[in-house]
Amino acid sequence: MVFLFSRARNLSPTLLRLGVRSKWRETSSISDLQHAFRDPSSPYHIPPGTQGPESPDSPPSSPIQLGTFPESTSDALQEARDKLLAAGFDPTSFWEQPIVWGDLDSFQHVNNVRYVRFFESGRIKWMTSVGHDLGGPEKAEAMVKGRGVSLILKSIEVKFKRPVTYPDTLLVSHKPHRPLTANADPAAFHLTASAYSLAQRAIVAESNEVLVWYDYDKLKKCVPDKHVRDAVWRRVKDV
């Protein structure tokens, strides 16, 4: 993490007590500030190799270290597929998301905002598959380009279970589930999603998404024909 202060008076009293007060210049004090963060006596010190605050969930059985790849990506990928299939996720939604260096933030793990994009990519792949079921490649293209009756995202909730670092690949998966109440909006349904880390061999984030059937020609939500809705419900797996 890099901080830039134009004047010494912008520093907190805590940092000043730590000795970050040497020969401040008008423009920058980066080296002094970085030294304070490396100082073991500093309250801001993060020991080398650590990941910062613990997750509320159980930590991995072995430390996650930057720069380590899974021993066997193909084995880890097959294991991920098997676990997600057993949990009822739709295999047509499986999306392999490589983690790139730019996904990391200053805390050296994947920034939380990135997961919304990851789940979006998996959701679009799933929608494309639904479109193929309804009318082949032409309908699949219409589904993702907002032509005719398609889907629109109403809301998304993401729960973060474990930090992810580079390098890694996530297997993102989706599955629909039926309404829990009889008076639920017939134009809407829920998707559950998971992001599975090949490096950690565990689910690292989960999502609950609400999708709405939407007529893009009329610019309003709609209740599509039964055969359209059945294309979704056929993908519900009892586990």
Task: Decide: 159 and 206 in contact? Cβ < 8 Å.
Answer: yes
Task: Decide: 199 and 168 in contact? Cβ < 8 Å.
Answer: yes
Q: In whole angstroms, what is the distance from residue 229 CA to residue 180 CA?
A: 16
Give the E-state strand segments of 16-148 in sequence order.
90-99
Write the single-letter amino acid at 200.
Q
pTM above 0.75, yes or no: no
Query: CA 41, 45, 48, 49 torsion: positive or negative?
Result: positive
Q: Tell me the per-residue pLDDT of 173-223, one tens digit each, with 9 for 90 and over.
A: 999 988 877 788 999 999 999 999 999 999 999 999 999 999 999 999 999
Query: CA 126, 130, 133, 136 torsion: positive or negative?
Result: negative
**Interior/surface letters 5-21, b for 16+ CB within 10 angstroms, e for the rest:** beebeebeeebeebebe
**Interior/surface letters 31-66, b for 16+ CB within 10 angstroms, e for the rest:** ebbeebbeeeebeeeeeeeebeeeeeeeebeeebee
pLDDT tens digits for the chain (239 residues)?
Answer: 444 444 444 445 544 444 444 444 444 466 765 676 677 776 556 677 765 555 444 444 555 455 455 556 889 999 999 999 999 999 999 999 999 999 999 999 999 999 999 999 999 999 999 999 999 999 999 999 999 999 999 999 999 999 999 999 999 999 998 887 778 899 999 999 999 999 999 999 999 999 999 999 999 999 999 999 999 999 998 76
